[in-house]
Chain A
Amino acid sequence: MTATTAGPAPTAQLRSGRGPISFSPTYLALDIRRSLRNRRTLIFLLVMPVAFFLLFGGGYRNSDPAAFVYVMVSMSVYGAMIATTSTGAQVSVERSQGWTRQLRLTPLRPTGYVLTKVASALVLGIVPVVMVLAVGAIMGANLSLGEWLAVGALSWVCSLVFAAFGLFVGYLVPAENAMQFIGPLLALMSFFGGLFQPLNTMPQALQNIAPWMPTYAVGLVARSPITHSGMTPAHVGDLVLWTAIFGIGTALLFRRDTSRV
């Protein structure tokens, strides 16, 4: 229709306020609600990190309070990591269901989808952090308020690495079973990165592998408010580097995915 088109179809004519949009809070809220509805996700979020904490750290409760806190923070990191990675990896399922294609028939920019997934991952990542720290507090972990807050905030912020990792895997793996592949991978990375037990209790060979795991720096940085070490430029740089690697990998795969062929 042209500028000289008259009268009819008025709702269709004046659309000056329209155009692409970058983010929708409603979409984010519904995406989170959808995740919380999934029983498997709830087990990942609520049950597993706490169970692992009790399993690996429960024995230190009275014998070695420092090790107890070490495992507590590690498990809060692990929980956040599972939550963010699995949420990021949902793109694999949503791509296979044609949802990302459907979104391209709306004004939402393709980057808006990725942004929503990252935000959703980070919001869900708060849940296991709070759960594990609350259980730790109930069981008598003795930290100052500042330490609680710092440890919680760092566990959570560092999980951004894994939101990026999840997205990367979600765009890499075409099948619906990304999580089957991610679960064991995360467990291995956590074990070799020293999240499940203090590194100095592990054989030297494993201690040598640990720094190559993205989980290693995350653990050190998250525990730094208590250990007063670990928050070094090298380790923070390490985290930034891992986030950049997964972020750039995601960006490349995303471009391949959304390019119009």
Chain B
Amino acid sequence: MDTGINTATGAGAGLRTDRVGRAGTGTLTPAIELDGLVKRFGDVTAVAGLDLVIRPGEVVAFLGPNGAGKTSTIDILLGLSRPTAGAVQVFGLDPVSAVAHGRVAAVMQTGGLLKDLTVKETVQLTASLFRDARPVDEVLARAGITHIADRRVAKCSGGEQQRLRFAMALLPEPDLLVLDEPTTGMDVEARRAFWTAIRQDAEEGRTVLFATHYLDEADAYADRIVMVRKGEIVADGTAAEVRAMASGRTVRAELPGATSAVQATLWEQPGVTSVELRGDTVRIQCQDSDAVLRYLLNRTEAHDIEVTAHNLEDAFIALTGEASASSTKTNPTGSKS
């Protein structure tokens, strides 16, 4: 299967009749479309106006610290909860219809399994709830749990239970697979096996959205990273773009006698996101370190200059940490707390 992205032109396909999920507008319907999504629990705002479009075929990591609104957003996507404000569509459908039509399936973090059924019985049961599910043996094999088919769920390890949830999610052959922190509690080996299965599946064109707080997972398995903080998107792009977006590089220099006027001038250089002055030391976060270096060397007495590149971990901390809202000018989250 292709990703579906480049396929919006086939004229003859207009003859296809599918009663739901076809907007018929001539453009490709997004897999996920969130428009001004807000979710409040009493006084607590979990999701604070999220706009997000995910195209069919994308593998997207939904990255953020605990309490960033990832699970609230996923619950809304799956029709398990209702947004306080804003709109949500999954393949142009409301989430409950998308679930009922097998367009979206999910692997939840915990629970959802009956301990006294066997692995195979659990899949059989779930399969019977779909009108045209994939064969039970096939999804067991694809999830790599054929060898434990007769084991009671209660006796399965965390990783095995997670692959069972994955097998269940494969039954409707969903166009969109949502994974909520799927590898929590797995050891390294189990995590790798799990992601190999997911990645193989995604290569066949399935759209995948996974929430995680493991940066290496986002880096290794996602085409696109959407970083959230306090219910808002703070970064959105490829792993490389997000890395750069956070604060591409830090330039550190000795700048004797630096004044606030010098600081203000530095602040105006292109791509500078923060300037910190401590005694004679200046720390500059910037996108374009070359421009900053050129300025420092040509126009100031700066010496002992260091340039450090940031990894995704730094980007994560910079973009999702508590301090980020006040210290960067590109960060759009300053409005909250």
* A residues at B contact (CB < 8 Å): 1-21, 24-27, 30, 33-34, 37-38, 94, 97-99, 101-108, 260-261
Contacts and interface: CB of A to CB of B under 8 A. Distances in A.
B323 to A, nearest CB: 33
Contact of A4 (B11, B21, B117): B11
Contact of B80 (A2, A10, A101): A101
Given A6-B10, A98-B108, A17 B131 contact: yes
Contacts of B112: 97-99, 101-102, 105
Contacts of A94: 114
Given A24-B125, A98-B113, 15 more contacts: A7-B2, A10-B1, A12-B1, A12-B175, A15-B103, A20-B100, A27-B129, A97-B114, A97-B115, A104-B80, A105-B106, A106-B99, A106-B130, A107-B130, A261-B82
Contacts of A3: 13-14, 16, 18, 22-24
B78 interface: yes
A3 B91 CA distance: 12
Contacts of A102: 108, 111-113, 168
B271 interface: no
Given A102-B112, A107-B99, A5 B10 contact: yes
Contacts of B132: 17-18
A4 B9 contact: yes
Interface of A is mostly: loop
- Which of A4, A10, A101 counts the most B-chain CB atoms under 10 A from its CB? A4
B111 A2 contact: no
A19 B22 contact: no
B105 to A, nearest CB: 7
B148 interface: no
25 contacts: A1-B28, A3-B13, A3-B16, A4-B24, A7-B2, A8-B2, A9-B175, A11-B173, A18-B132, A19-B100, A19-B131, A21-B129, A21-B131, A24-B129, A27-B129, A30-B125, A97-B115, A99-B114, A103-B129, A105-B105, A105-B106, A105-B108, A106-B99, A106-B129, A106-B130
Contacts of A18: 100-102, 130-132
Contacts of A106: 99, 126, 129-130
A136 to B, nearest CB: 32
Interface residues of B, number: 65
Interface string B81-107: 110000000011000000111110110
B62 to A, nearest CB: 18
Nearest to A106: B129
A1 B22 contact: yes
Contact of B18 (A15, A27, A261): A15
Contact of B4 (A4, A9, A11, A98): A9
B99 to A, nearest CB: 6
Interface in B114-130: 114-117, 121, 124-130
Contacts of A107: 99-102, 129-131
- Which of A13, A25, A103 counts the most B-chain CB atoms under 10 A from its CB? A13
A12 B92 CA distance: 14
Q: Nearest 6 pairs between A and B by C-beta? A: A6-B10, A98-B111, A102-B112, A26-B128, A8-B2, A106-B129
B296 to A, nearest CB: 52
B29 to A, nearest CB: 5
B121 A19 contact: no
B13 A7 contact: yes
B28 A97 contact: no
B261 to A, nearest CB: 54
A27 B26 contact: no
Contact of A2 (B25, B78, B113, B128): B25
Given A4-B10, A8-B2, A16 B27 contact: no
A167 to B, nearest CB: 18
A139 to B, nearest CB: 35
B100 A98 contact: no
A128 B81 CA distance: 41
A8 B8 contact: no
A218 B145 CA distance: 49
Contacts of A26: 124-125, 127-128
A214 B125 CA distance: 35
A99 to B, nearest CB: 6
A2 B29 contact: yes
Contact of B121 (A17, A30, A101): A30
B140 to A, nearest CB: 16
A13 B174 CA distance: 10
A260 B129 contact: no
A9 B2 contact: yes
A94 B114 CA distance: 7
A25 B125 CA distance: 9
Interface in B1-54: 1-4, 7-14, 16-29
A33 to B, nearest CB: 8
Nearest to B91: A1
Given A8-B1, A8-B7, A107-B99, A14 B18 contact: yes
A16 B131 contact: no
B159 interface: no
